[in-house]
């Protein structure tokens, strides 16, 4: 079945450090891929998405590229800020199981220290 | 409304009791989703509504769980004979269409069964 695997956290970085959060997936067909972010006390928010191979999603300085050959969608940011501290979830939707149904990873907590 | 609203934000109930969780989606959003997020896990799909009908309820864990959306707007998730294993954060999301566009999530209802 379809699944998403994320690197375990917490990830602790100093402000202005480079961030990578790894995400790999298993899916039949051609899934769409997403990163969601959950700030403390708030709901999940869509951060970025990519709907086909080699697409790059970007938002708020974060980027992720849909790599079909490695079945990956790693999240990157060149210079993190304290305000980026949150839990990040990688997710997919697949036409074979319904594009409305998202499969989420377990989440990666990011802590950025001033 | 401006966002997806869920009430109550917290609910503590005794084992065996009945609970109702409410979701008020973004105005005009035809698609509505319920997910369940257990501690340390990513959200798991429960049910999807398109308009008033449940288009996919394959994620409901058993017949103690039921959800309705009688007028195609507000939805209620109902849990009968609650068990301690039902303790989780219940998330609601809505979207303007069921597709690859991403959802808007509410902040969730934290259900604790004691």
Instruction: Please give the pLDDT value at position B78.
Output: 98
| SS3 per residue for A8-42 | CCCEEEECCCCEEECEEEECCCCCEEEEEEECCCC
Confidence of residue B97 (pLDDT cuts 50, 70, 90): confident
Residue to mutate among A29, A43, A88, A97, with most B CBs inside 10 A, is A43
Cβ separation B41–A51 shorter than 8 A = no
- For residue B98, is pLDDT > 90? no
| SS3 per residue for chain B | CCCCEEECCEEEECCCCCEEEEEECCCCCCEEEEEEECCCCCCEEEEEEECCEEEECCCCCCCCEEEECCCCCCEEEEECCCCHHHCEEEEEEEECCCCCCCCEECCCEEEEEC
- For residue A3, is pLDDT > 90? yes
Q: How far apart are CA A64 and CA B113, in angstroms?
A: 39
Cβ separation B108–A91 shorter than 8 A = no
Cβ separation A93–B100 shorter than 8 A = yes
B31–A contact, CB cutoff 8 A = yes
Instruction: Please give the pLDDT value at position B1.
Output: 54
Average pLDDT, chain B: 93
Given A45, A101, A106, which is nearest B40 (Cβ)?
A106
Average pLDDT over residues A29-34: 91
Q: How far apart are CA B102 and CA A99, in angstroms?
A: 10
Confidence of residue B99 (pLDDT cuts 50, 70, 90): low
Tens of pLDDT, residues B18-57: 999 999 999 989 999 999 999 989 999 999 999 999 999 9
B5–A contact, CB cutoff 8 A = no
A32–B contact, CB cutoff 8 A = yes
Instruction: Please give the pLDDT value at position B42.
Output: 93
A77–B contact, CB cutoff 8 A = no
Average pLDDT, chain A: 94
Tens of pLDDT, residues A52-98: 999 999 999 999 999 999 999 999 999 999 999 999 999 999 888 78
- The angle at the Cα of A65, spanning B41 to A25, to the nearest 5 degrees, equals 40
Confidence of residue B71 (pLDDT cuts 50, 70, 90): very high
A45–B contact, CB cutoff 8 A = yes
Contacts of B110 in chain A (CB under 8 A): none
Regarding predicted confidence, which is higher, A95 or A21?
A: A21
């Amino acid at each position: 079945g379809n699944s998403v695997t994320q690197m375990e956290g917490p990830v602790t970085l100093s402000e202005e450090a480079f961030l990578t959060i790894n995400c790999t997936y298993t899916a039949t067909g051609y899934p769409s891929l997403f990163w969601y972010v959950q700030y403390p006390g708030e709901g999940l928010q869509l951060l970025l998405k990519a709907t086909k191979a080699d697409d790059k999603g970007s938002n708020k300085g974060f980027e992720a590229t849909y790599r079909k050959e490695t079945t990956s969608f790693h999240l990157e940011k060149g210079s993190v800020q304290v305000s980026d501290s949150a839990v990040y979830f990688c997710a997919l939707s697949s036409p074979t199981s319904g594009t409305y149904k998202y499969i989420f990873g377990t989440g990666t907590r990011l802590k950025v220290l001033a | 409304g401006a966002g997806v609203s869920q009430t109550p934000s917290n609910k503590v109930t005794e084992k065996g009791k009945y609970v109702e969780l409410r979701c008020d989606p973004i105005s005009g959003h035809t698609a509505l989703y319920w997910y369940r997020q257990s501690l340390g896990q990513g959200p798991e799909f429960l049910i999807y509504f398109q308009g008033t009908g449940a288009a996919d309820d394959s994620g409901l864990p058993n017949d103690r769980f039921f959800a309705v959306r009688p007028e195609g707007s507000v939805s209620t998730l109902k849990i009968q004979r609650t068990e301690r294993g039902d303790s989780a954060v219940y998330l609601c999301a809505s979207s303007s269409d069921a597709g690859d566009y991403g959802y808007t999530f509410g902040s969730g209802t934290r259900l604790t069964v004691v």
